[in-house]
């Protein structure tokens, strides 16, 4: 099990069937739902504000989830994938969202349901991404709508695959 540590009297809390890699770090005011996974070198730091995570969320290798002291908490909905090396900071991510590898989501952003933030995108402070949108680039801009095929083939597939991957690690313990 990873490093799980209280900070300022707040203890991380986990739902049922969560997988936490041996070197994931989860500290402070973090609450997550069921079937979440925190992968190798992921850092979820609820030291300066709260982090709320829904069900079936995967926070992949080297991703960082943080917030801003007294200004911006982080909320992540259900069926969300946070890609390798992404930074999710002081923002709100609704259900069924894919945050691509290396993407950065800044304070006070809102990513509505069914959206994709492309790999390497930088979503600048206060950006509102409408439901069903694909945002890419630096700074991130809307490049297209999420088609039903893209939703099933990327957003849903990746979230479901990470449930399977987590089972492999739980079963090998």
Tens-place pLDDT, residues 105-121: 999 999 999 999 999 99
Q: From CA 171, how far away is CA 173, in angstroms rounded?
A: 6
Rounded to an integer, the average pLDDT of 6-19 is 97
Tens-place pLDDT, residues 46-76: 999 999 999 999 999 999 999 999 999 999 9
Percent of the chain with pLDDT over 70: 99
pLDDT of 172 over the 80 cut? no
CATH superfamily of 3-171: Hexapeptide repeat proteins (2.160.10.10)
Q: From CA 133, how far away is CA 140, in angstroms rounded?
A: 11
Q: What is the predicted pLDDT for the residue at 170?
A: 81
Q: How confident is the model at residue 173 (pLDDT cuts 50, 70, 90)?
A: low
Rounded to an integer, the average pLDDT of 137-155 is 96
Q: From CA 60, how far away is CA 21, in angstroms rounded?
A: 10
Backbone dihedral region for residue 15 (phi beyond 0: left; psi -120 to 50: alpha; all else: beta)? beta
Spans of all domains in the chain: 3-171
Rounded to an integer, the average pLDDT of 89-96 is 98
Count helices and strands in the chain by DSSP H and E runs? 2, 19
Give the mean pLDDT of the chain.
96
Q: What is the predicted pLDDT for the residue at 61?
A: 98
Q: Is 170 strand, coil or helix?
A: helix
Looking at the DSSP assignment, which residues form a beta bridge with residue 104? 87, 122
Q: Is 132 strand, coil or helix?
A: coil
Q: Single out the residue of 81, 78, 126, 118 nearest to residue 102, CA to CA.
A: 118
**Other beta carbons within 10 Å of 5:** 14
Q: Single out the residue of 107, 108, 56 nearest to residue 82, CA to CA.
A: 56
Q: From CA 82, how far away is CA 60, in angstroms rounded?
A: 6
């Amino acid at each position: 099990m990873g490093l799980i540590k209280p900070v300022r009297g707040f203890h991380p809390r986990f739902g049922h069937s969560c997988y936490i890699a041996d070197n994931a770090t989860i500290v402070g005011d973090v609450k997550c739902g069921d079937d979440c996974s925190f992968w190798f070198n992921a850092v979820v730091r609820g030291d300066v504000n709260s982090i709320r995570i829904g069900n079936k969320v995967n926070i992949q290798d080297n991703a960082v989830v943080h917030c801003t002291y007294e200004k911006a908490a982080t909320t992540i909905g259900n069926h969300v994938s946070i890609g390798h090396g992404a930074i999710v900071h002081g923002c709100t991510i609704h259900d069924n969202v894919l945050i691509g590898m290396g993407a950065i989501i800044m304070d006070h952003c809102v990513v509505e349901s069914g959206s994709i933030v492309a790999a390497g995108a930088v979503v600048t402070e206060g950006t509102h991404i409408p439901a069903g949108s694909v945002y890419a680039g630096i700074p991130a801009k809307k490049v297209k709508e999420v088609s039903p095929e893209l939703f099933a083939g990327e957003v849903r597939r990746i979230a479901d695959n990470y449930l399977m991957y987590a089972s492999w690690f739980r079963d090998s313990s």
